Amino acid sequence: MGKKVEENKRQKRTSLLMQSYNLFMSKGIPNVSIAEIAEKAGVGKGTFYSYFRDKEDLIDQLIARKAEGLLVHALEDLKSHEAMGMPLSVEDKLIIITDDLITELNKDPKLVKFLNRNLHLGFYKKAFERTDFIGNFDIAAMYKELISSENYEWRNPELMLYTIVEFVSSTVHSIIIEKEPVDLETYKPYLFSCIRSIIQVFKA
Amino acid sequence: MGKKVEENKRQKRTSLLMQSYNLFMSKGIPNVSIAEIAEKAGVGKGTFYSYFRDKEDLIDQLIARKAEGLLVHALEDLKSHEAMGMPLSVEDKLIIITDDLITELNKDPKLVKFLNRNLHLGFYKKAFERTDFIGNFDIAAMYKELISSENYEWRNPELMLYTIVEFVSSTVHSIIIEKEPVDLETYKPYLFSCIRSIIQVFKA
Amino acid sequence: MGKKVEENKRQKRTSLLMQSYNLFMSKGIPNVSIAEIAEKAGVGKGTFYSYFRDKEDLIDQLIARKAEGLLVHALEDLKSHEAMGMPLSVEDKLIIITDDLITELNKDPKLVKFLNRNLHLGFYKKAFERTDFIGNFDIAAMYKELISSENYEWRNPELMLYTIVEFVSSTVHSIIIEKEPVDLETYKPYLFSCIRSIIQVFKA
Amino acid sequence: MGKKVEENKRQKRTSLLMQSYNLFMSKGIPNVSIAEIAEKAGVGKGTFYSYFRDKEDLIDQLIARKAEGLLVHALEDLKSHEAMGMPLSVEDKLIIITDDLITELNKDPKLVKFLNRNLHLGFYKKAFERTDFIGNFDIAAMYKELISSENYEWRNPELMLYTIVEFVSSTVHSIIIEKEPVDLETYKPYLFSCIRSIIQVFKA
DNA sequence: GATGAATGAGTCTTCATTCAT
DNA sequence: CATGAATGAAGACTCATTCAT
């Protein structure tokens, strides 16, 4: 396959991914037809099916792509904090990551809408099982490492992660999308305090 | 309109509501057609439209009905606790209500699946705006009364309710449905501790 | 259901059946779409599916309908011969039926084309299993009666019927449709002689 | 064109022919796409079109190839019988050929299924008109020679061939494929007796 | 010459909604 | 007032065929 062809294919895929995302956001996933996506992306209807098995497959790839982007960003943020040399507790680290994630999401509320339907812990399992995924992160391993950086005995660290992820994602949803009941900046202090409290609950 | 006719109409509505709920549960909401609902309910397809504007409307009424049932049960539970004469703090009361709610839901996981897609705070607004609703509860007033039963100064009581509702509903979802990561009884101690901690956060 | 509605439905069904048959004949079965059939029949595309499960089902009903018509005609022909009082051997009877069938088919070559793809003995089993069939004939019983009208010992009467049916149907096909290698009237003497010979083979 | 190139082309054509045949047999002709055939044959989709005009054309060539093989085998069988020195009547010869053909076909029922949809006398005309065919047999001439080996006056030898070919092919079809109503060995005596009878009919 | 990416017409099928009875 | 026959828009998906590389 020639370079030009390969580049062309990447462009088509990207166009399909981007345009479908825009359509999903503006009209709602079930109200977007494949024909519509193909048209917006400037490709034939049939072309869609040479890139994605079906709408489901497209959505999966979209989620994986978007989620990965967020995660990379958050981890880099954590790294840069660590680079500053201050000692960071587990709480601190989790809050840094959370802060970065929700701050990024707040810049793109449509992304929240899109991800939140799918963004529970279970999602990670699924999304990161994809093999054709760039920069496959092992979330489980990363979390384990994070947790063990301090010498606490955690009562049930997996359950703690579950609780925090669910807590943050559900709580932040309407706050970002509708700024209701309050806006994100107003909510952050409460949110972070709650996270710290929740972590205390899980300390032995 | 004669009594008999009125009774007949109520039966039809009830049948439509019940049968659609069963179908939604067993096949998934998008896979149930109006024709199917009408058939199961033993009425004509056209009749459906004299009771509900469309599928959306049906779902809304279904949610309201189910949610109301849960709420009534929880409030009666609270009343019976209060009747026992022990002094109950706001925390205690909220946990009693929560406990009742999730215990009831745990008996009917399909209901959780159905409600959770829609059960965010915004739901209450929507559901309880319906006028053709039996036993319209004024959630806001009830909550206000609950909160003011103690003499704390709450920092932001509405936000607290929001936080707790989101926390409990999102957290409990997969625990009830998939018993993952742990089952409900295992989770309850953590859950209630977290709720108490969250409430602390909102105390001035 | 009102009489008018019922009559209307019969008309629709008939129209669907007739128009699809015409289309099948002129364009070939695989080249006729359901949309086309519906249009010709003057009904909506969806209406088709309330009368037939799919194209296959339509074809089955078409075959049954057409085959039944032929059979009725042939049996009446036989009856009128019998009414004339001449003693008829089994050979005579089979040839009277055959003659009537192929003479009728020769008037409507398109019908041959349509039936022959499906008209093997196995067809009878299938077609006459239909319960919503008018005048359900029991071919097997009729044949048994026919055979036993004389006191021969047949070596394998079922195999004989199979042989004759296959022989006639395959042989007559291109003769009726393309008048090749000869036309039907020219072929009949040979055909009937062959049938008589075949019958002799099966006599004990 | 170099020898190597020519050889390469023959291989591609053969691969296309063989793989498509396998696919047709296992999935049914209408359910096999050109893409699938090309893939199985290990060539590009476009390449298919430089060997065959379309699926129809492919099928025609497939039939011709398979039929030719059968014919060659049958004629060799006849030759070896003749080599044995016994005097063979026209009946004997036709039955030897028939016997060989159906015995071969019985070894490969899938081939029957494939050929029978197309194997009427008309087929020979069509198949053997192809010029790019190896070992073009002149069926007509061969038959003429066979017939005139005895000094009968045949009433209509072409019609006799037609009758026998149709008789055998239609009759033997379900017997080979489904062993219904009886298996081939059981049927052969009847079949051959019938053929002899049919031949008698065509003797002046 | 071979390739396979791209195409989009065409297919079946479902279903919400209407309206004559 | 209830009914369900009729509708046709809309959707997912297939595939023969073309043509730039």
Concatenated DSSP letters of C109-155: HHHHHHHHTT-SHHHHHHHTT-SS-TT---HHHHHHHHHTTS---BS
Q: What is the mean pLDDT of chain A?
A: 86
Kind and range of the H or E run holding A5: helix A3-27
With touching defined as 3 or more inter-chain CB pairs under 8 Å, the answer for chains B and C is no
* A120 in contact with B, Cβ within 8 Å: yes
Closest-CA residue of C relative to D182 is C159
| C194/D197 CB distance under 8 A | yes
| pLDDT at C126 > cutoff 50 | no
Q: Which residues of C touch D197 (CB under 8 A)?
A: 194, 197-198, 200-201
Q: What is the CATH number of the domain that holds B18?
A: 1.10.10.60
Q: Per residue in D6-58, pLDDT tens?
A: 778 888 999 999 999 999 988 888 889 999 999 999 999 999 999 999 998 99
What residues have CB less than 8 Å from A80, skipping those under 6 apart?
Answer: none
pLDDT at position A52? 95
Q: What are the percentages of helix, strand and coil residues in chain C, rounded to 5?
A: 75, 0, 25
pLDDT of residue A139: 77
Confirm or reject contact between D120 and chain C (CB < 8 A): yes
User: Is strand E in 7 Å reach of the CB of D12?
Assistant: yes
What chain A residue is nearest to B204 in terms of C-alpha separation? A190
Cα-Cα-Cα-Cα dihedral sign, residues C45, C48, C49, C50: positive
pLDDT confidence of C116, banded at 50, 70, 90?
A: confident
- pLDDT tens across B28-60, in order? 888 899 999 999 999 999 999 999 999 989 998
Q: Both A44 and A97 in a single domain?
A: no
For D33, residues 6+ apart whose C-beta sits below 8 A from its C-beta are none
Residue with CA nearest to E3's C1' atom: D44
**Is there contact between D and C if contact means ≥3 C-beta pairs under 8 Å?**
yes
Max CA separation in chain D (angstroms): 58
Strand F: which nucleotides have any atom within 7 A of a protein Cβ? 1-21
Q: How confident is the model at residue B190 (pLDDT cuts 50, 70, 90)?
A: very high
Q: What angle do CA B105, B108, B113 make, to 5 degrees?
A: 80
Reply yes or no on whether the pLDDT at A124 is more than 50: no
pLDDT of residue B1: 53
CB contacts of B200 in chain A (<8 Å) are 197
Instruction: Look at D171 and C171 and tell me if their CB atoms are within 8 Å.
Output: no
Q: Which of A28, A48, A50 is nearest to A40 (CA)?
A: A48
**Residue among B61, B54, B62, B60 at smallest CA distance from B38:** B54
Give the per-residue pLDDT at C78.
Answer: 94
For nucleotide E1, the protein residue with its alpha carbon nearest to C1' is D47
Q: Does A166 touch chain B (CB under 8 A)?
A: yes
- Kindly tell me the burial class for residue B29, based on how many C-beta atoms sit within 10 Å of its own C-beta (0-12, 13-18, 19 or more): middle
CA A16 from centre of chain: 20
Q: Which residues of C touch D180 (CB under 8 A)?
A: 122
Nucleotide in closest CA–C1' contact with B45: F4
Express as a percent the part of chain C with pLDDT over 90. Answer: 51
- pLDDT of residue A60 exceeding 80, the answer is yes
Average pLDDT for chain B: 85
Query: Any CB–CB contact under 8 A between B163 and chain A?
Result: yes
* Same domain flag for C141 and C160: yes
Asked whether the predicted pLDDT for residue C198 surpasses 80, the reply is yes
> Where does residue A108 fall: left (phi above 0), alpha (psi -120 to 50 degrees), or beta otherwise?
beta
CA of C37 to C1' of F8 (A): 15
Q: Does A194 touch chain B if contact means CB atoms closer than 8 Å? A: yes
User: What pLDDT does residue C33 have?
Assistant: 92
pLDDT higher than threshold 50 for residue B127: no
Q: Is the same domain home to B9 and B94? A: no
* Whole-number percent of chain D with pLDDT over 90: 51
| Two tokens, residue A11 | 């462009």
More confident residue, D144 or B185: B185
Do D36 and D63 belong together in one domain? no
Q: What is the mean pLDDT of residues B120-131?
A: 46
Find the helix packing angle between B55-83 and B90-107, rounded to 10°: 130
Which range among A133-147, B70-84, B127-141, D154-168 shows the weakest confidence by mean pLDDT?
B127-141
Instruction: Measuring from the CA of residue C47 to each C1' atom, give the nucleotide at the shortest distance.
Output: F6
> CA A55, C1' E20: Å apart?
40
Give yes or no: residues A151 and A98 share one domain.
yes
Residue with the larger pLDDT of the pair A29 and C188: C188
Mean pLDDT of A105-134: 62
Confidence of residue C16 (pLDDT cuts 50, 70, 90): very high
Q: Helix A55-83 crosses helix A90-107 at what angle (to 10 degrees)?
A: 130
B154 or C121, greater pLDDT: B154
pLDDT at D199 over 50: yes
CB-CB under 8 Å, A181 with B159: yes
For residue C30, which residues of chain D lie inside 8 Å, CB to CB?
Answer: 30
CA of A28 vs C1' of E10, distance in Å? 28
CA distances for C99 relative to A48, B175, C172, C199, angstroms:
58, 77, 11, 16
Record: contact C193-D181, CB cut-off 8 A: no
Closest CA to D183 of D74, D103, D71: D103
Instruction: Please determine, for residue C3, whether its predicted confidence score (pLDDT) is greater than 80.
Output: no
> Chain A: nearest CA to B10, how far in angstroms?
33
In chain A, the residue whose alpha carbon lies closest to the alpha carbon of B182 is A159
Residue D201 forms contact with C (CB below 8 Å): yes
pLDDT band at C2 (very low <50, low <70, confident <90, very high): low
Q: Are residues B82 and B163 in the same domain?
A: yes
**Does the distance separating the beta carbons of B194 and A197 come in below 8 Å?**
yes
Task: List the single best residue of C124, C155, C163, C186 to mutate versus D (max D Cβ within 10 A).
Answer: C163
What is the tens place of the pLDDT at every residue in D50-85? 999 999 899 988 988 888 889 899 999 999 999 999
Indicate whether A44 and A142 sit together in one domain. Answer: no
Domain holding D74, by residue range, is 59-201
DSSP string, D57-122: HHHHHHHHHHHHHHHHHHHHHHHHHHHTT----HHHHHHHHHHHHHHHHHH-HHHHHHHHTT-SHH
- Do residues B69 and B35 both lie within one domain? no
The total number of structural domains in chain B stands at: 2
Does the pLDDT of residue B120 top 60, yes or no?
no
The pLDDT > 70 percentage for chain C reads 88
The answer to whether residues A195 and A128 belong to one domain is yes
Highest mean pLDDT among A186-190, B83-87, C55-59: A186-190
Q: Which residues of D touch C193 (CB under 8 A)?
A: 201
Which of D121, D187, D197 is facing C197, going by the closest CB pair?
D197
Query: In the 132-171 stretch of chain D, whose C-beta falls under 7 Å of nucleic acid strand E?
Result: none
- What is the reported pTM? 0.80
D112 and D93, same structural domain?
A: yes
Chain D positions touching C166 (Cβ under 8 A) are 167, 170-171, 173
The residues in B 86-105 lying below 8 A from A, measured between CB atoms, are none
Gap between the terminal Cα atoms of chain C: 58
Name the most confidently modeled range: B44-58, B166-180, D145-159: B44-58
Instruction: Give mean pLDDT, residues C158-172.
Output: 91
The pLDDT of residue A136 is 59
Contact status of A163 with chain B (Cβ, < 8 Å): yes
Residues of D in contact with C182 (CB under 8 A): 156, 159
State the average pLDDT for chain D: 86
Q: Which chains touch B (3 or more CB pairs under 8 A)?
A: A
Our CA dihedral for D76, D78, D79, D81, rounded to 10 degrees, sits at 130
CB of B35 lies under 7 Å from some atom of strand E: yes
D98 and D171 fall within a common domain: yes
Q: Enumerate the H helices of B52-148 as residue ranges.
A: 55-83, 90-107, 109-116, 121-127, 139-147
The domain boundary, picked from D52, D74, D89, lies at D52
Residue A202 forms contact with B (CB below 8 Å): yes
Answer yes or no: do A180 and B120 touch at CB < 8 A. no
pLDDT confidence of residue B142: 84
In this predicted structure, the answer to whether residue A123 has a pLDDT above a threshold of 70 is no
Do A193 and A113 have their domain in common?
yes
Interval C151-172 mean pLDDT: 89
Q: CA B6 to CA B12: how far, in whole Å? A: 10
B190 touches chain A (CB under 8 A): yes
* Protein-proximal positions, strand E, CB < 7 A: 1-21
Whether pLDDT at A68 is above 60:
yes
The answer to whether residue C134 scores a pLDDT higher than 50 is no
Per-residue pLDDT at A33 exceeds 50: yes
Contact D159 C198 (CB under 8 A): no
> D134: pLDDT confidence band, cut at 50, 70 and 90?
very low
Structure-token match 């459906």, residue found: B48
| Residue C135: predicted pLDDT | 44
As a whole number, mean pLDDT of residues C9-37 equals 91
* Shortest CA distance from C194: residue in chain D: D198
- Indicate whether B168 pLDDT > 70: yes
